Amino acid sequence: MLDRMAHDEEDPVGTLRGVRTSIKWTRYAPDVLPLFVAEMDHDVAPEIRQALVERVQQSDLGYLDGPGPLAPAFAQFARDRWGWDVDPARVHLATDVSVGIVESLRLALPDGGRVAITPPVYPPFFELVAEARCQVEEVPLLEQWGAYRLDLDGLERAFADGVGVFLLCNPHNPIGLVHDRADLEALASLAARYDVLVISDEIHAPLTHPGVRFTPFAMVAEPAGARSVCVTSASKGWNLAGVKCSVIVAGDPRTAALLDTLWEEVACRTSILGLHANLAAFTLATDWLDDVVERIVANERLLGSLLAEHLPGVVYTRPRAGYLAWLDFRGIGLGDDPAVPLREHAYVALNSGLGFGSQGRGFARLNLACSPETLREAVFRIASAYPSGAQEGLVWHVA
């Protein structure tokens, strides 16, 4: 399996820039290494490429009105991977996870309301809440020496004060935090007590690292009497963001009845190519997924050793899921937004930490889904541009 993927491992950034046209490869000048947006450099799984080719060859490019075969395929994947029994009748379509979140918020809070989020968190969460004409209630993650977890006391205060929906990131972007089952069970009890709907973004769950146990929130929510929605897609795990398909899954009967009122257009706007790409991912390309996770974990370890040797002033929160590394540059004096000087002076493009909330001041997010050569070059460039980063002691933190 690794052999069929190995050829793209040696592709230099210049080669990829010459054939790919997404924002990762077009936003910045050719001399800037693009390690910002959450897209993989790796080739898409052959099974998915074949599924897309077959749909085009059959001129099968029309509209959708529901998930069709994708619902039982996702249910089987969830059962096999996480032990989560999903009723296919509770599965709905949306163009992507962001749309699934917005449409769920619109149903849950039709007159607006307050939505809790836990920064530092995926930047669009702030915008999606506003798009649904709701207000953000920030309940930051607890952090001690770089280790993060949910602030359950803070969430209870927010729920008691009238927050109607909690937008959970599970696993958590940008930390790579896989929430402990006990914390999720406690969250479910709180949500049930205060009748708060939990919308759980679980798009990074297929990328959970070996030896780490991921718990879908719905698995603990329904037994506790809590309402929940899971929004997810194959787009992160299999690098399919542009094909535009996700699923919205009701976690309980009350929420299932709510999602049954989704506008028909929510499904119709989903790409038929995206549906077949997701179907192939969940049913045919699971070996590819396991192989790519191994490569991500190898790069995660490589980054740790590279930082230890060349940039010990940078504090690294090591992910337990996904391919995103949360880096604290405050120790080397790059200011509130280190992504700017890193891009301008080291020619490495990372995500600005500021977009993840005020807790991201001095931080940046790095994409590990690249070749080891690209990762080495990025660290070497930063170390050369900021040699003072080699004068502090390195601290590794496990999220």
Per-residue model confidence as pLDDT tens digits over 67-82? 999 999 999 999 999 9
Model confidence over 371-391: pLDDT tens digits? Answer: 999 999 999 999 999 987 665
How much of the chain, in percent, has pLDDT values that exceed 70? 94
Model confidence over 249-305: pLDDT tens digits? Answer: 999 999 999 999 999 999 999 999 999 999 999 999 999 999 999 999 999 999 999
- Our measurement of the distance from residue 279's CA atom to the centroid of its chain's CA atoms, rounded to an integer in Å, reads 19
Model confidence over 188-215: pLDDT tens digits? Answer: 999 999 999 999 999 999 999 999 999 9
The mean pLDDT of 21-29, rounded to a whole number, is 95
The mean pLDDT of 358-378, rounded to a whole number, is 97
What mean pLDDT, rounded, does the chain reach? 94
Closest CA to 360 of 335, 386, 387: 335
The mean pLDDT of 180-191, rounded to a whole number, is 98
Query: What's the confidence (pLDDT) of residue 248?
Result: 98
146 falls in which pLDDT band (50, 70, 90)? confident
Which of the residue ranges 318-332, 338-352, 382-396 would you say has the lowest mean pLDDT? Answer: 382-396
145 falls in which pLDDT band (50, 70, 90)? confident
113 falls in which pLDDT band (50, 70, 90)? very high
pTM for the whole thing?
Answer: 0.94
SS3 content of the chain, % helix, strand, coil (to 5): 50, 15, 35
102 falls in which pLDDT band (50, 70, 90)? very high
Q: Which helix (H) or strand (E) holds 228?
A: strand 228-232
Query: What's the confidence (pLDDT) of residue 11?
Result: 46
Query: What's the confidence (pLDDT) of residue 66?
Result: 97
Query: What's the confidence (pLDDT) of residue 14?
Result: 83
Are the C-beta atoms of 349 and 343 separated by less than 8 Å? yes
Q: How far apart are CA 276 and CA 56, in angstroms?
A: 11
19 pLDDT exceeds 70?
A: yes
Closest CA to 270 of 92, 60, 68, 94: 94
Model confidence over 41-62: pLDDT tens digits? Answer: 999 999 999 999 999 999 999 9
12 falls in which pLDDT band (50, 70, 90)? low
Query: What's the confidence (pLDDT) of residue 390?
Result: 60
pLDDT top residue among 93 and 399 = 93
CA 291 → CA 3, 35, 278, 299, distances in Å?
10, 21, 18, 13
Query: What's the confidence (pLDDT) of residue 391?
Result: 54
User: What tokens does 311 get?
Assistant: 């940039």
Q: How far apart are CA 395 and CA 146, in angstroms?
A: 9
Query: What's the confidence (pLDDT) of residue 26?
Result: 95
6 falls in which pLDDT band (50, 70, 90)? very low
Closest CA to 296 of 371, 239, 232, 365: 371
4 pLDDT exceeds 50?
A: no
87 pLDDT exceeds 80?
A: yes
Instruction: Please give the domain boundaries of the chain with CATH numbers for all domains.
Output: 2-44+286-398 (3.90.1150.10), 49-283 (3.40.640.10)
Which of the residue ranges 4-8, 98-102, 142-146, 167-171 would you say has the lowest mean pLDDT? Answer: 4-8
126 pLDDT exceeds 80?
A: yes
Q: Which residues lie below 8 Å from residue 7, measured CB to CB, with a gap of 6+?
A: 43
5 pLDDT exceeds 70?
A: no
